[in-house]
Amino acid sequence: MTHPRSSLPTTSSARLAAVALAAVTGLIAASPAATAAPDRIGADATGAGTLAAPDIPFANVKAHLTQFQSIATANGGNRAHGRPGYKASVDYVKAKLDAAGFTTTVQQFTQSGSTGYNLIADWPGGDPDQVLMAGAHLDSVSSGAGINDNGSGSAAVLETALAVSRAQLQPTKHLRFAWWGAEELGLIGSRYYVNNLPAAERAKVSGYVNLDMVGSPNPGYFVYDDDPAIEKVFKDWYAGIGVPTEIETEGDGRSDHASFKNAGIPVGGLFTGASRTKTAAQAAKWGGTSGQAFDRCYHSSCDSTTNIDDTALDRNSDALAHAVWTLGTSQPVPPGDSYENTADVAIPDNGPAVTSAVAVAGRTGNAPAALRVGVDIKHTWRGDLVVDLLAPDGTAYRLKNSSSSDSADDVITTYTVDASSETANGTWRLRVQDVASRDTGYIDSWKLTF
Ligand code: DTR
Ligand code: ZN
Ligand code: ZN
Ligand code: CA
């Protein structure tokens, strides 16, 4: 769902509404094909281009929770490690991913005398040396269905993965989604995965984003304070909808991100609170009930489909999609085409202007609004120099004025010129004049970048 800027709640009850894995032992793989289509690119403040994430359909997220509840109900009331409800949950998620074109892998391990399963889903494509991962533990405790803990994170990660497929995303990074087994027994599945990744594969994981409990019924909006880039993406997203966040402090290292962090992999994540009590200050900014746990059904039989705050889960699902799109599709601005003249041109002392020419051919239309002019002039008193760029039709763009006080050596810099009214093709010139006597120099080289 989309997110209008929230107004502050006025009362406490105003609750706002495959590659890598081939080398790992014990794996079974399935791999359907996928095609891809490009999307529009925008630019962020850092100059990197990213694609905008889609809005995650919240009804789909809820439908996954309904299925997890049904699975628990049909299997003794839980989805715990070693119980049939866990494997049924894996089968449900895997079928959705297989149908969407992911390469899925079920990784088996043994814990407490029972077989456990991690489900890994690779989206074909992206840079295999830069892997962005997002994951959630899929197991519940044995006392309940585990809908907030952690059907919520599992559903949000699943629906984000399915959104990648619907968009036929062509990310710059390779995307890998994961659902961990036996988290509730001590981060067993995620630790098994990380420990069994060959060191070379581990080094390719550029980040891991964890979602564990992201729909708590009396929610807080907590962002893991770990890798700064991941943290910023989440904080920026929340700032954009006007919802304040806090740093997650309810037990650092208590979920699967710890397995990755321990291996030196950058981590981040989202959390809406477990058994800790919401303060009055938190209720004032987020709504909900102060003096009450974020999740009163934490690890209890009442952690069912009614134990979810829809607004919180909706927001965190969209925030995850935003993070995957932002971190997974960012790419440097394309380098552009350069035209350079490296011949030295002497600049007569306090004399007439000299020029150095660059011929541009084979382009269509006008020059860009941000034409880059790289200048390398060696001089013993650069304040003597007046520098212009001359367009093919002779129009002069002043790059630098003289300044008797600027005694520094050399002009080695890049200027940006709005040359959008000039035809790109033709002979461009750098014109340099030395307007004061004594110090001298020469044009070493210069270049235009379109
Ligand atoms: N590990 C979770 C609950 C939990 C407690 N503190 C945190 C902090 C961040 C994420 C999760 C948690 C469980 O599965 O019980
Ligand atoms: Zn738990
Ligand atoms: Zn959990
Ligand atoms: Ca001079």
Q: Which domains does the chain have, with CATH numbers?
A: 17-329 (3.40.630.10), 338-449 (2.60.120.260)
* Sequential DSSP letters for 326-392: HHHH-BPPP---EEEE---EEE-TT---EEEEEEE-S--SBPPTTEEEEEEEEES-GGGEEEEEE-T
Question: Is the CB of residue 137 less than 8 Å from the CB of residue 86?
Answer: no
Least confident of 45-59, 184-198, 219-233, 334-348: 45-59
Average pLDDT, stretch 43-56?
Answer: 68
Cα(348) to centroid(ligand 4), Å: 8
How many angstroms separate the CA atoms of 321 and 342, rounded?
47
309 lines ligand 1 (CB under 6 A): no
Q: Which atom of ligand 1 is nearest to the CA of 137?
A: 14
Q: Write the DSSP symbol of residue 256.
A: T
What pLDDT, in 10s, does the model give residues 376-396?
999 999 999 999 999 999 999
- The CA distances from residue 180 to 62, 86, 120, 247, in Å, are 20, 10, 8, 24
Mean residue pLDDT across the chain? 90
Q: Is 250 in the pocket of ligand 1 (CB under 6 A)?
A: yes
The region of weakest confidence among 19-23, 370-374, 444-448 is 19-23
Angle subtended at Cα 362 by Cα 357 and Cα 364, rounded to the nearest 5 degrees = 110
Rounded CA separation 36/426 (Å) = 39
Choose the residue to mutate in 187, 210, 271 for probing ligand 1, maximizing ligand atoms within 8 Å of C-beta: 271
pLDDT for the residue 300: 98
Instruction: Compute the distance from residue 329 Cα to the ligand 2 centre, in Å.
Output: 32
Q: Could you say which ligand is closest to the alpha carbon of residue 347?
A: 4
Query: pLDDT higher for 390 or 23?
Result: 390
406 Cα: distance to centroid of ligand 4 (angstroms): 12
Cβ–ligand 1 distance for 251 under 6 Å, the answer: yes
pLDDT for 48 equals 52
The residues carrying an active-site annotation are 183
How far, in Å, is the centroid of ligand 4 from the Cα of 378? 12
Question: Tell me, what's the pLDDT at 51?
Answer: 82
Q: For residues 357-379, give the mean pLDDT.
A: 94
The arithmetic mean of pLDDT across residues 130-136, rounded, is 98
pLDDT digits (tens, 9 = 90+) for 311-346: 999 999 999 999 999 999 986 656 778 899 999 999
pLDDT for position 4: 60
Ligand 1 contact, 212 CB (< 6 A)? yes
**Whole-angstrom Cα distance, residue 313 to residue 162?**
17
Number of the ligand closest to the Cα of 154:
3
| pLDDT tens profile 191-218 | 999 999 999 999 999 999 999 999 999 9
Q: Is 183 in the pocket of ligand 1 (CB under 6 A)?
A: yes
Q: Which of 34-38, 205-209, 278-282, 348-352 has the lowest mean pLDDT?
A: 34-38
Angstrom distance (rounded) from CA 356 to CA 446: 8
- Predicted TM-score (pTM) of this structure: 0.71
Supply the pLDDT for residue 10. 33
Q: Closest Cα partner for 53 from 149, 166, 134?
A: 166
Which bound ligand lies closest to the C-alpha atom of 272? Answer: 1
Band of pLDDT at residue 283, cut at 50, 70 and 90: very high
